[in-house]
Each structure stands twice: as structure tokens, then as C-alpha cells.
Amino acid sequence: MSQKIRVIYNQKGGVGKTTIAVNLAACSAIRGKRTLLIDSDPQGNASSYILGSNKQPEKSLTHYYESCLHLNIFRQSIFEYITSQTRIPNLHLVACNRELEELRTKLENKHKIMKLKDGLKNNTYDHVYLDPPPANDFFSLACLIAATEIIIPIDCDAFSIRAAQEIKQTIDEVKQDHNPSLIVKGIVVNQYQKGTKHSLGIILELKKIGYQVLEPYIPTSIKVRESHSEVKPIVIGYPDHPVSQALFGLFDELDKSENKLDSQIEIKNIQAKQQSPEESKIHV
């Protein structure tokens, strides 16, 4: 199975980006996949969601980027900065804190935009989830360059349509300049109110952008905020809740398309190996 590095990205805040990133990572771990969550947002909300706001990890993404500012003979690996195994089996975390923002100008001036991608080489995880800031800045761009796939969270709001159009332009630029193999998995609809004309109208407009609108949609619920306070992903604390069921369904839908693609690649590899010497000579 090919390894996936998924960035959950929207430059518009308040769309549930971190909630979706953390819970998809938790779904991945629950489904038995070795999973790494990298909090790339100086606000550190993903780290707080997993660890609690009072716990300060000894290792973090800040420490990794600090090491990148120094001349090193050997390539730095982000895996040296994993905080620890979380309370969720199969899930590891590279935490983040506000000190990361203090490094941004130095990292930009020294052209370290590729360091996240470089640090993820020799990856042994099945899935890596990246949670960047809700902005079009250095740390977000680093995540888009490092990722193999992007998932775009959108809430059912008229302003989200413009945000999705702006994201498309950003993605096109990243693919042209830095990461041509980046795959857009689609748009995740958050805060969905079933049966309302407003939500259905937003979804129809989103489909016009050209990206797949993934299903199931994630319903609105106060339980999500409660899960933040409880420092426990909703899929862990309330696995039977409609929001959790939607997140599990979304993960399984993403995983299904992944398995289909992996199967196609494997079939091609087998066919290539079974090709006769005479046929091989023809294609030399």
C-alpha cells in the first residue's frame, strides 16, 4: 500500500479544519493504520485536542524547524521530534506551539520551504495528516508541498464558496511550481444541516468549482465542541454519534479510493513482471 501524506487545508478559519484533521487521523489509527499527525499551526489546537492545553511536550515541530536553521551534515528527520505515542493506539503526534511563529521570518529568509517535505522522507507511516494554519503563509505552503493529497474542509456558509475558489488558485500554483503530483481528494462539507435549502444550495455551488464534494457530509452538533473540552476526538469519545459516523464514513470512502488506486498500481506491477523477455526487448 502506498503511503499517504494528507493535508487538511483551508485558508479561511472556523471551518472545522483541525477537528477534521484530528478525527480523520484517529479514524485511521482505529482502522489499524500506523498514523502520524503533524500539527503545523502555531496556535497548536491539534496538539491541545490530543494532549490537553496544559501539557507542554519536550519535542515539537518548533524544535525540528530550529534544527533546520543550522548547517547539518546529515539530513534532519521529522520523526526524531515525535512527541510520544498518544493515548490512541497507532497514533503518534508531532506537536506544535506558538513559538513556531517566531521562526517564520528566519525560515523564509533562509529558504527552508522544502524542509518539511525533506523531513518526511523515509516515512514508515501508512498515513500522515498535516494540520496547517488557516492562512496562505510559509507553514501552510510547506504542508502543501510536502503532501501527496489535499482535503478541503468547508462549512455551509456563503463565504466558503469564495474561499474554495481562492484555494483552487493556491493549489494550481503549488502544483505548477512545487508539487505537480499533489492530488485533490475533494471538499469535505462541515456544519451540514440536513434538508435545508441553504445547505443544499451551498453544496450545488461548491460542485461548480470542479472538485469532488465528498460524502457523507458532517452534521452540525455541539458535541464537537464538547469533545474539544474533554481532550478526546469525538470518534473516540462518542463513536456512535452522527458526527463520528460521518467521519468514519468519510475516512472509509477515502480509504476505498486509495485501495482501488493501489490495486490498479499493483496489477500494473504484476503485469510488468510477467512480461516476457521478447516483449521487454520491444519496449527498450
Average pLDDT, the chain: 89
Residue ranges of the domains in the chain? 4-252
Half-sphere exposure of 161 (CA within 13 A, CB side): 14
Residue 156 has a pLDDT of: 87
Q: For residue range 48-79, list pLDDT tens digits in order.
A: 999 987 777 889 999 999 999 987 756 679 99
Output the CA–CA distances (angstroms, integers) from residue 36 to 2, 21, 76, 104, 127, in the order listed: 15, 11, 17, 23, 6
Residues 6+ positions from 216 with CB-CB distance below 8 Å: 245, 246, 249, 250, 253
Residue 83 has a pLDDT of: 85
Q: Are 81 and 61 in contact (CB under 8 A)?
A: yes
Please check the confidence at residue 125 and state whether its pLDDT lies above 60.
yes
Alpha carbons 242 and 153: distance in angstroms, whole number? 18
Domain 4-252: which CATH number of 3.40.50.300, 3.30.70.270, 3.10.20.30, 1.10.10.60? 3.40.50.300
Alpha carbons 129 and 20: distance in angstroms, whole number? 10
The percentage of the chain sitting over the pLDDT mark of 70, rounded to a whole number, equals 88
Please check the confidence at residue 47 and state whether its pLDDT lies above 50.
yes
Q: Which residue has the cell 510536502?
A: 146
- Of the chain, the end-to-end C-alpha distance in Å amounts to 28
Query: pLDDT: is 15 or 54 the higher one?
Result: 15
What is the amino acid identity at position 130?
A: L
Q: For residue range 101-113, list pLDDT tens digits in order.
A: 999 999 999 999 9
